[in-house]
Structure 1
């Protein structure tokens, strides 16, 4: 009777739409109105970062501009020690989320700036604004139009030329100014990696085909597809779907795939709900096609003896007991050179 019950959580759980899962987490999502930070799944679900590094990254991302994010400053507000925080910062620096840059101030003092990027993968994909025409790689030279020749006047009878009146020299007309191209709009520096919904989709790969659809392969593939719903009830196919998928299953059978292995590859872990079972089967038949079995020549190449590599053994020097590689025992290189110098100096000493 003295245990406090959280009735608010129970009421919120009753308002979750749809059927609740029998296992796993149940999300109760309430919209934030203030004091929140947007964190990408590329960081929250990073496969190579430790949970401590993800937590430190979220902590840094939530701090305002200019906040202290050194090891001692983070250790003063976190339960982790300085060694664990230093290791987490090294992880973030190795994956591009964090960078320490040394900069020189106008006064000559050298400082270290800590730069944190919430999406480092986007720095590798420059983009231009939507709807802007692509910029040419090199500016092309505009050729001036060729002058138009006027037709020559008709010939007139020859007459005595009259003296022409003297004319004052006139200034040449000013050359027309070249048109100035409007400045190109400034393009944003980065583009998200996720394509927009209106982006053209890649063409779908065709269904695999056997080298020869023999009557035996056709019967075996048809029986396999017709019996598939007995093992996975959601894969109940129509007659048209069976005929369309028979070549793909025949290609798998031709590559020595066992029916139980094909069944597991096609029906394991389907999406829920499964609205188009035939499309899922066609996709998996194409993407998960096993390689062709090796031929006799390929197997014979594996059985060929490989060339043996001769490895020079280690020997122990008789003078200094140093290990060196040589086919025969004796002295190492330093001891041989020392012996040669002593031998050369003996006549001089005499």
Structure 2
């Protein structure tokens, strides 16, 4: 089968590899769609980060580069292994793409399994990936999505990132949230916040992405930071108080600086983006305003609730899909667009079987 294989920074190849084998306790999935994630771009430009470098196998998967990429996937079950009796061939599913040690409690009772030692991700540290025609995944990480269209279902994974970030923020109905960055994660975080009754303001320089935030209704207020004083605008919206919560979704230093100025005293800043470089922090601003700075990584027991948001019609994922491409065009029409012309796209999906 065809697969996109990550060898090293700037080196991703479309190759023919062996199809995976369905074993007891696993599920075979024909991949329908796989999104290109910002993490994939970071691996291509700055990596390896999550990908284990060649000759340095990951302690759980035992794999190192080259590995198959892709962790934002949807598909259809084509086989179930022995012991899997709650999924059937033909079911539409998505993958919660974790690689976690077998002795870690991954039940709903554990809200920290995603922070366990050596945690990594399918599609980054091995065990196949969504940028391939087929994948085999342990049953624990497969979630049925019912009648959600498969292209939209490929956005469940990044939407779960937004849902977990919302949970980390402790935001509540009636709060005002400021988001820096209207890329896929920023927009999908905004979608979750709006579904939960939170007022959303977004700072974003790209005209297309600002327009997408407004036309989808995920933000009531959208600012171009090159044209207006975002901090002043937020204070005007809040009677001088500042934003209750804020979400950093850019990995850009000026955006983080803006949030420290824009949040109210005792406000919460959640850093959602993956930083491939060190950031600087003026500690006195954190201290004097008693700002609560929180990290968030991926999701934990988030997929079922996130799927329900879509099934209940509280979040519409269709408008965020701006292009669908075949696997052979991954670099030219996918990575190149998102790296060099990211103001023209939001979420690009890949059809490995096309």
State the TM-score, normalizing by the size of structure 1.
0.18
Question: More helix by proportion, 1 or 2?
Answer: 1
Question: More strand by proportion, 1 or 2?
Answer: 2
| Larger RCO of the pair (alpha carbons < 8 Å, separation 6+) | 2
Structure with bigger gyration radius: 1
